[in-house]
Amino acid sequence: MAQKTVLRKPRGFIDVYKHKPGAEKDRTHYCPGCGHGILHKLIAEALEDFDLVEKSIVISPVGCSVFAYYYFDTGNLQVAHGRAPAVASAVSRANPDSVVISYQGDGDLAAIGGNNILQAANRGENMVVFFVNNAIYGMTGGQMAPTTLEGQKTTTTPYGRNIRTDGYPIQMCELINQLTAPVYIARTSLHDMPNIRKTRAAVRKGIQNAMNRKGFSFVEVLSMCPSGWKMDAVQSQNWIKENMIPRFPLDTYRDNSDQPYTVERPVPIMDPEEVRKILGFGSLKTANLRQNPDAVLRKVALRVSGFGGQGIMSTGIALANVGMEYGYNVSWLPSYGPEMRGGTANCSVKVQEETIGAAECTEPNMVIAMNQPSLEKFEKILVPDGVLMYNSTLIDIEPTRKDIKVYPVPITGMADELGDTRVQSMVSVGAFAAVTGMFDPGEIKSLMPVLFAGKSDKVMKLNEDAVQMGYDYVKDNFS
């Protein structure tokens, strides 16, 4: 690396923070004097210097640094509170060539995510964790954190933290140092220039460890929160020195970076054929994609809704499986209450030729309503020219909208006719095939061994009949 002649905003940052809402796309959202910005800069600089910007994935936590993805020009994921190490573990295993960075604050890492960090450390996941310890909950307005010092006043400890009732400040480095797997554990501080430079060295070591697959590195950084501490930035630096460091000693607790061992994980399976084999499906058939004459239905975004127990989820899963078998991209997303039967349930199903982004159908172009509340609820969100199929056995009201296509189908009635109400899900599938023209009933029947694996021939025959019945009803009555 050539000697730098200018110190400027590192390329690890996005040039203009285009993902940040509002007008101020040239600056961060952090308060004046916040330590996050300093650590961000040290990380971004290291990523630039080691040429890792394109190879890194930063996992943002919940806390002030929740918006780290506004700033880092890396792969970014923002995850549930405290779960950054768990997600980072998965990302690291699925992308063994990437440098995975988990960036977390004290509320996120030491409180709600306390177990997550310990387990990831104990597994020796190949990642680097940057732990910003400012002894307070900054984002939510300065409440007591697990790391809040004895006697420290916060909005929830107005008389100071009382160790008899609130416990002691948690020392994460010391805790993680009890585990065997981590390779690098250090605590540094941002309270003056020599320590910022030590932090810089620790940041670079952690990132290099991840790059070289050395395993789990943990860098705790004592950082200023001038807003939460109600002082200015320079007073905050002094406060770290005088109050935090006695409780959180600065040290390199472990450094096994030189060990020859590198983290080995099973190679992730990226081959779709292999995944299908493991899941017990047949080989991918891509030749069967049909050009649907109805433009609306070329991208099926379906909502199936009804009472729990009406086969709502089964209908969705069956359609997604059939779609998958015929080479479409599919997704299935259930939504239901805690009841097993009798509550309301719905699911989103997408069967599309294009790649699917969100799995939830907020604007469905097709709705299968199995009961009246579902009809009333989902008729409203159907797109214009969308398709509404409803269970005319149980619903005796008419849909009110005139800009949609309506298919009243006695789904429950037909299932009862076959002698088993439970097959109404396959009646729906057959009717769906007829409405969309995407599948032939014969094709769906050929998939019975997949959809009803382990079930008797009698059950499969019954469901085949149900598919045919639903299909024929729509063909006979609506075309």
For other proteins, the binding residues (CB under 8 A) are 3-10, 13, 26-28, 30-38, 40-42, 44, 71, 192-193, 196-197, 200, 226, 232-234, 237
- Reported as type and span, the H/E element at residue 302 is strand 299-307
Q: Which is nearer to other proteins, 194 or 266 (CB)?
A: 194
For the CB of residue 212, give the shortest distance to other proteins in the complex, in Å.
25
Cβ 460 vs Cβ 436: under 8 Å:
no
Token couple for 392: 């005319």
For the CB of residue 142, give the shortest distance to other proteins in the complex, in Å.
18
Q: Which is nearer to other proteins, 68 or 100 (CB)?
A: 68
For the CB of residue 207, give the shortest distance to other proteins in the complex, in Å.
16
Cβ 239 vs Cβ 39: under 8 Å:
no
Task: Count Cβ atoms below 10 Å from residue 167 Cβ, excluding itself.
Answer: 12
For the CB of residue 46, give the shortest distance to other proteins in the complex, in Å.
12
Q: Which is nearer to other proteins, 7 or 287 (CB)?
A: 7
Q: Which is nearer to other proteins, 193 or 295 (CB)?
A: 193
Q: Which is nearer to other proteins, 15 or 354 (CB)?
A: 15
For the CB of residue 130, give the shortest distance to other proteins in the complex, in Å.
15
Q: Which is nearer to other proteins, 44 or 312 (CB)?
A: 44
- Alpha helices, DSSP H only, in 154-218? 163-166, 172-176, 193-211
**Bridge partners for 76 per DSSP:** 58
d(CA 474, CA 478): 6
Task: Count Cβ atoms below 10 Å from residue 261 Cβ, excluding itself.
Answer: 11
Full DSSP string of 346-401: EEEEEEESSPP--SS-SS-SEEEE-SHHHHHHHHTTSPTT-EEEEETTT--SPP--
- With tokens 């390779």, the residue in question is 183
Token couple for 145: 């954190």
Handedness of CA 38, 39, 42, 45 (dihedral sign): negative
Cβ 276 vs Cβ 284: under 8 Å:
yes
For the CB of residue 233, give the shortest distance to other proteins in the complex, in Å.
4
* End-to-end C-alpha distance for the chain, whole angstroms: 71
- For 478, counting Cβ atoms within 10 Å of its Cβ (0-12 exposed, 13-18 middle, 19+ buried), the class is middle
For the CB of residue 12, give the shortest distance to other proteins in the complex, in Å.
9
Q: Which is nearer to other proteins, 7 or 270 (CB)?
A: 7
Q: Which is nearer to other proteins, 28 or 98 (CB)?
A: 28
Task: Count Cβ atoms below 10 Å from residue 137 Cβ, excluding itself.
Answer: 26
For the CB of residue 225, give the shortest distance to other proteins in the complex, in Å.
11
Q: Which is nearer to other proteins, 93 or 200 (CB)?
A: 200
**Bridge partners for 222 per DSSP:** 133, 189
Amino acid identity for residue 403 in this structure: D
For the CB of residue 71, give the shortest distance to other proteins in the complex, in Å.
7
Q: Which is nearer to other proteins, 9 or 380 (CB)?
A: 9
Going from the C-alpha of 98 to that of each of 51, 85, 213, 348, the distances in angstroms are 12, 15, 9, 33
For the CB of residue 68, give the shortest distance to other proteins in the complex, in Å.
12
Beta-carbon contacts of 14 under 8 Å, excluding residues fewer than 6 positions away, are: 70, 71, 72, 73
For the CB of residue 256, give the shortest distance to other proteins in the complex, in Å.
28
Q: Which is nearer to other proteins, 12 or 323 (CB)?
A: 12
Token couple for 370: 């199995």
